[in-house]
A and B are shown apart, each in its own frame.
Chain A
Amino acid sequence: MTSIARIFARRILQAIPLLFVVITINFVIIHMAPGDPTYTLLGESATPEFVQAMRARFGLDQPLYLQYFYYVSRVIQGDLGFSLLRSQSVSSLILERLPATLILIFTAMAISTSVGIFLGVTASRKPYSASDNIATAAALFGVSTPIFWLGQLFLILFAIYAGLLPTSGMRDLRAQFTGFDLVLDVARHLILPAITLAAFHLGFITRLTRASMLEVLGQDYMTTARSKGLDERAVVYKHGLRNALLPVTTYVGLSMGLLFGGAILTETVFSWPGMGTLLYDSLRLRDYPALLGIFIFISVMVIIADLVVDILYGVLDPRIRSS
């Protein structure tokens, strides 16, 4: 087995139990929550006929451990439940809303990573100087500000008072743009939510990059590079950055979970039609099947994203490959 294939296999083997744990957590919650688990699973508005129809599928009158197997097999096949309230399967509800959320998350990740690294590197070049202090302070605020309030603040300032940007939604429903105009329209709507979502991570990445760069810059091999007579900028960027970025990459890889959480809050503020608002509505409607289905879906997505990042990491970092 080549080492890359071995990393692949090992990570996948590690991920599978995690998936099972997530499904199990769901199952446990269904059965431990107050009220009849049947109605938690099928929704409060389940009619007797509906319950009857689902009896076989979920093994509702079987002992608990059998119900568990039924549940797991349903989920694995992609059946996340049916939302009676909206007359749709949960999976289809989710897939409708998924693209919007993904656009938001990836844009935010791109912004926070690029700007964060830039600010962090800049701050580290002259530690404790004015520019460093400003960057550090900005980062600190980014990390301490509640996301939803920041969104509201942006909304108030830029959308309501300045009127520069739209206040809600993903696109202008009246104007019905198509093609490139549509892209621009979405972009306009995307700006505020994406920056809001990016704020925390930007702050974190800035602080992380700065700390990492400072540590790397002070190390012995940097002094060696300098003594070779290399231009300062080459020293900083070529030698220092590559190593300093390792912990940052790790963080970015692991931040999917946080980003989903943040996306829920951001979408609610901006009425962005993604999974966040789906979740918010489901909360208000007490649509339990939808809530649980969304939880499984997002968890699985995060696990897979982590898996991909891990494997990429194993491929890229020779040190891990040889272990």
Chain B
Amino acid sequence: MHRQRVATTQETEALRQINSFWRQYRKNRAAVIGFFILAGICVIALAAPLITWYPPLRTNVADPFMPPTPSHPFGTDDLGRDLYSTAMYGTRTSLAIGLLAAGISALIGILVGAISGYYGGKADDLLMRTSEVFLVIPTFLLALIIVAMFGATIQNTIFAIAIVSWPRTARLLRAQFLSIKETDFVEAARVVGSRNMDIMFNEILPSAIFPVIVNASLEVATAILTEAGLSFLGVGDPNVPSWGIMLNNAQSYLRTAWWMAAFPGLMLLLTCLSLNLVGDGLNDYFNPRLKER
């Protein structure tokens, strides 16, 4: 053929989109800070063995109740464990649980929301009634009961959190589907002969997913806080380094060993703060506000 090959490839299109995304995202300075903090935490999670020199959770690596010193930057706890390495390894626990729980919750939520919003009818009614339950009853409490009754393991924690979080995503996505499915281009897709699955996931979802993405970082933060809360109350997995358990431990020694509480909490704060900032940044990116006056 005489015409030149069209330059669109998947790769260049993706690069172009990432570039323009970053350029717009950059405009919110706080969001950028949040992004780098988050990146730093991810690095810690990956590089934990490299930056610590005592194994986490190993008892009696030093005297108990030592305040912060150069060799034990976060001090030691009642069993002589190095709090710094426990805290660093705790990053892995929190991020893993946060991402997995939020991920599973998002998957369920997207499926339910898409089917509900697209097909409507009885299925929609049923699913929405179900999700309403989760909006009303205290979800933290429900997750607590589930983990308490089924056993305090990481898997149960992840599933419990996912079970109580999916309705929010489902509702968000359903609302988007309800409005987008009436648009002309979706109608055009039907006229062209697309099947329902195709329309749901190839035509509607790419536009509908934005609020879910913005919500995602908040979901991760909530999941991390929930896991920490559950561990704090004593229903966390004791074999895993967790900031929540560290704080539970610290509760009995607040008077004498303030460092047992201070540092794990600080890590939690930084993680959630950065996730919230990134969430704000994403929100600004998708719904740019006009700076008035």
Interface residues of A (CB under 8 A from B): 17-18, 21-22, 25, 29, 32-34, 40, 127-128, 140-141, 143-150, 152-153, 155-156, 160, 218, 254, 256-258, 260-261, 264-265, 268-269, 279-280, 283-284, 288, 291-292, 295, 298-299, 302-303, 306
- Interface check B21, CB cutoff 8 A: no
Contacts of B250 in A (CB 8 A): 152
Contacts of B251 in A (CB 8 A): 152, 268-269
Contact (Cβ within 8 A) B228 A283: no
Cα A253 to Cα B239 with chains together (Å): 39
Contact (Cβ within 8 A) B269 A144: yes
Contact (Cβ within 8 A) B247 A152: yes
Q: Return the contact of B268 from the options A140, A146, A160 (Cβ within 8 A).
A: A146
Contact (Cβ within 8 A) B142 A140: no
Contacts of A292 in B (CB 8 A): 145
- Interface check B233, CB cutoff 8 A: yes
Contact (Cβ within 8 A) B254 A145: no
- Interface check B234, CB cutoff 8 A: yes
Contacts of B135 in A (CB 8 A): 254
Contact (Cβ within 8 A) A265 B232: yes
Contact (Cβ within 8 A) B265 A299: no
- Interface check B258, CB cutoff 8 A: yes
Q: Which residue of A lies closest to B225 (CB)?
A: A146
Q: Return the contact of A149 from the options B136, B142, B261 (Cβ within 8 A).
A: B261
Contacts of B140 in A (CB 8 A): 258, 261, 264
Kindly supply a per-residue 1/0 record for chain B positions 218-233, scoring 1 wherever the CB is within 8 Å of any chain A CB and 0 otherwise: 0001000100110011
Query: Min CB distance, B37 to chain A, in Å?
Result: 11
Given A22-B137, A149-B269, A254-B135, the answer on whether A140 and B225 have CB atoms closer than 8 Å is no
- Interface check B148, CB cutoff 8 A: yes
Residue with the highest number of chain A CB atoms closer than 10 Å, among B150, B225, B232, B268: B232
Given A128-B291, A257-B136, A283-B148, the answer on whether A155 and B141 have CB atoms closer than 8 Å is no
Contact (Cβ within 8 A) B234 A146: no
Q: Return the contact of B261 from the options A152, A254, A268, A283 (Cβ within 8 A).
A: A152
Q: Return the contact of A283 from the options B136, B235, B265, B277 (Cβ within 8 A).
A: B235
Contact (Cβ within 8 A) A302 B261: no
Query: Min CB distance, A24 to chain B, in Å?
Result: 10
Q: Return the contact of A257 from the options B138, B146, B255, B264 (Cβ within 8 A).
A: B138
Contact (Cβ within 8 A) B141 A33: no
- Interface check B132, CB cutoff 8 A: yes
Query: Min CB distance, B40 to chain A, in Å?
Result: 16
Contacts of A291 in B (CB 8 A): 145, 148-149
Interface residues of B (CB under 8 A from A): 129-130, 132-133, 135-142, 144-146, 148-151, 221, 225, 228-229, 232-235, 247, 250-251, 254-255, 258, 261-262, 264-265, 268-269, 272-273, 275-277, 291-292
Query: Min CB distance, A151 to chain B, in Å?
Result: 10
30 A-B residue pairs with CB within 8 Å: A21-B130, A29-B145, A29-B149, A33-B150, A40-B149, A127-B291, A140-B277, A144-B221, A144-B273, A144-B276, A145-B265, A147-B229, A148-B232, A149-B247, A149-B261, A149-B269, A152-B247, A153-B262, A156-B262, A254-B135, A257-B137, A257-B139, A260-B138, A261-B138, A261-B141, A268-B232, A268-B251, A291-B145, A298-B138, A299-B138
Cα A294 to Cα B130 with chains together (Å): 22
**Which DSSP category, helix, strand, loop or mixed, fits chain A's interface?**
helix
- Given A147-B229, A152-B265, A268-B251, 16 more contacts at CB 8 Å? A18-B133, A18-B137, A21-B133, A127-B291, A144-B272, A146-B225, A146-B268, A149-B268, A160-B254, A265-B232, A268-B232, A268-B233, A269-B251, A280-B234, A283-B144, A283-B235
Contacts of B268 in A (CB 8 A): 145-146, 149
Q: Return the contact of A218 from the options B255, B258, B273, B292 (Cβ within 8 A).
A: B292
Contact (Cβ within 8 A) B258 A156: yes
Contact (Cβ within 8 A) A145 B136: no
Q: Which residue of A lies closest to B270 (CB)?
A: A144
Q: Which residue of A lies closest to B151 (CB)?
A: A34
Given A261-B141, A298-B141, A306-B136, the answer on whether A145 and B272 have CB atoms closer than 8 Å is yes
Contacts of A153 in B (CB 8 A): 261-262, 265
Cα A284 to Cα B148 with chains together (Å): 10
Contacts of A269 in B (CB 8 A): 251
Contact (Cβ within 8 A) A264 B265: no
Cα A32 to Cα B151 with chains together (Å): 12
Contacts of A148 in B (CB 8 A): 228-229, 232, 247
Cα A261 to Cα B228 with chains together (Å): 13
Cα A140 to Cα B221 with chains together (Å): 13
Q: Return the contact of A160 from the options B138, B255, B273 (Cβ within 8 A).
A: B255
Cα A9 to Cα B221 with chains together (Å): 38
Q: Which residue of B lies closest to A29 (CB)?
A: B149
Contacts of B233 in A (CB 8 A): 264-265, 268, 279-280, 283
Contacts of A141 in B (CB 8 A): 269, 273
Cα A218 to Cα B146 with chains together (Å): 46
Q: Which residue of B lies closest to A136 (CB)?
A: B30
Query: Min CB distance, A235 to chain B, in Å?
Result: 15
Contacts of A260 in B (CB 8 A): 138, 141
